[in-house]
Amino acid sequence: MPTSHMEDYLERMYRLIEEKGFARAVDIAEALEIRPSSVTHMLQRLAEKGYVRYEKYRGVQLTTAGRKIGRKMAERHRDLTRLLRLLGVRDENIIFEDVEGIEHHLSSESMQRIRALVQYAEAHPEWWAQLLDDS
Ligand code: CO
């Protein structure tokens, strides 16, 4: 099982690769707002666990296992963000910080139920607005 910290790295790498096609240590450091030397250290740990292949001159590649976790975290991040927006949280910084915390600690069953709620609420905006007004 990867730690929350590892999940954050894999999530960020997955997004960088989706957006730019590659993830260099310097880009990961910038995205996570940490020093490149910490990134290098973490990438070595992720490589030992089999989540990334660290290729010195070609940047970092996710393995199949690493990509699976990165995608899972990116999808959780997106869907939990939708939930908090639906609930009426307006401050995007608060949403981001809360989602970064919650995304690591939900079972897949709970996550599945949250997704079902989000989808239903987005498909029935009037029903949802009524519910929020009443609460
Ligand atoms: Co996240």
Per-residue pLDDT reduced to its tens digit, 102-134? 999 999 999 999 999 999 999 999 999 998 887
**Of 68, 83, 99, which residue is a domain's last?**
68
Q: What is the 8-class DSSP label of residue 23?
A: B
Q: From the CA of 75, how far away is ligand 1's center (Å)? A: 9
* Domain extent at residue 80: 74-134
Q: How far is CA 89 from CA 75, 81, 82, 95, in A?
A: 19, 10, 10, 7
Per-residue pLDDT reduced to its tens digit, 56-76? 676 789 999 999 999 999 999
Q: Is 134 helix (H, G, I), strand (E, B) or coil?
A: helix
Q: What is the CATH number of the domain that holds 123?
A: 1.10.60.10
Give 55's strand partners: 59
Q: What is the CATH number of the domain that holds 50?
A: 1.10.10.10
In the structure, ligand 1 is a single-atom ion and the residues with CB under 5 Å from it are 11, 77, 100, 103
What pLDDT is attached to residue 135? 74
Q: From the CA of 18, how far away is ligand 1's center (Å)? A: 15
Residue type, 18: E
Q: From the CA of 28, how far away is ligand 1's center (Å)? A: 13
Per-residue pLDDT reduced to its tens digit, 18-65? 998 888 888 888 888 888 888 888 999 999 999 999 766 767 899 999
pTM of the model: 0.88
Q: From the CA of 47, how far away is ligand 1's center (Å)? A: 21
